[in-house]
Amino acid sequence: MNNTLTSKVAITTGTAFLLTAMMGSAHAAPTGYDQLTFQAEVKEEVQNDEVTASLYKKAQATDAKALAITLNTSINNALKIAKRYPTVTISTGQQRTYPRYDKNNKIIGWTGQANIDLKSTDFTATSQLIADLQENLVMENLSFGVSDIKKNALEQKLMTDASRAFQQQAKNMTRAWDARSYRVVNVNLNMGSNYPRPMYNAMSMKSEAADASVPSQNFESGNSTISVTANGTIELTK
């Protein structure tokens, strides 16, 4: 895993307009002079450990009831199949129904689509479930990311690292400006993520042989970058 640190510094004189909450201090209130505003950022690249996917059934019928029966039956069958994979979280997704018109603007039928969404950190089970569902459903998209558990744990670590980096940068700036010491006027921690996740429009991934079973797919999840930025203002003491 790669851990990097970057920092940016800006000098302010006169009264500063502060957007973040003031930190409590036993010292006198900041004077607004000899202030430095800067930020320190730490980031770490981690492997994506979560896969999400969405599959759908699309159908047409001459009346809304027949359409609902077709869609509901397909989704209910998909949910039954999904129960064989307890490590995969499945939920019903978007459902849309809209009329079809003839040239005289008269309703001649209905078109509908119903989706189911998958999420899991078990790539093998998810891949096999998707293959099973593709016997009757079409996959709309597939993506990868960092699970909440892994992301939260890493952010806690990076928050500490960013705080230390901010303090170290404050000490460096104090020495650079020949100041005796400094005090923190305000500081704010911001989390960020960059997910260069492989995205698949899987409409073309449905098996060409309708009677053949769909093989499971090998996943390459890729990496994501998690970052925390500490930005704030210090006041130098001469």
Domains present along the chain, CATH in parentheses: 3-46+149-194+227-237 (no CATH), 50-145 (3.30.70.2970)
Facing residues of 25 across strands? none
> Is residue 176 classed as helix, strand or coil in its secondary structure?
helix
Q: Which of 234, 235, 228, 188 is nearest to 19 (CA)?
A: 188
Question: For the sheet containing 181-194, what is the strand order?
Answer: 3-12, 35-47, 223-237, 181-194
Distance from C-alpha of 155 to C-alpha of 147, rounded to nearest angstrom: 12
Q: What angle do CA 213, 54, 152 make, to 5 degrees?
A: 125
For the chain, the C-alpha Rg in angstroms (whole number) is: 27
| Close Cβ partners of 209 (under 8 Å, ≥ 6 residues apart) | none
The whole-number pLDDT of residue 29 equals 56
The whole-number pLDDT of residue 44 equals 94
pLDDT digit string (tens) for the chain, length 238 residues: 555 555 444 433 332 323 333 333 334 455 557 899 999 999 999 999 999 999 999 999 999 999 999 999 999 999 999 999 999 999 999 999 999 999 999 999 999 999 999 999 999 999 999 999 999 999 999 999 999 999 999 999 999 999 999 999 999 999 999 999 999 999 999 998 776 555 554 444 444 444 457 777 778 788 999 999 999 999 999 8
The whole-number pLDDT of residue 230 equals 95
The whole-number pLDDT of residue 203 equals 41
Amino acid at 170: A
Helix (H) or strand (E) holding 187: strand 181-194
The whole-number pLDDT of residue 3 equals 56
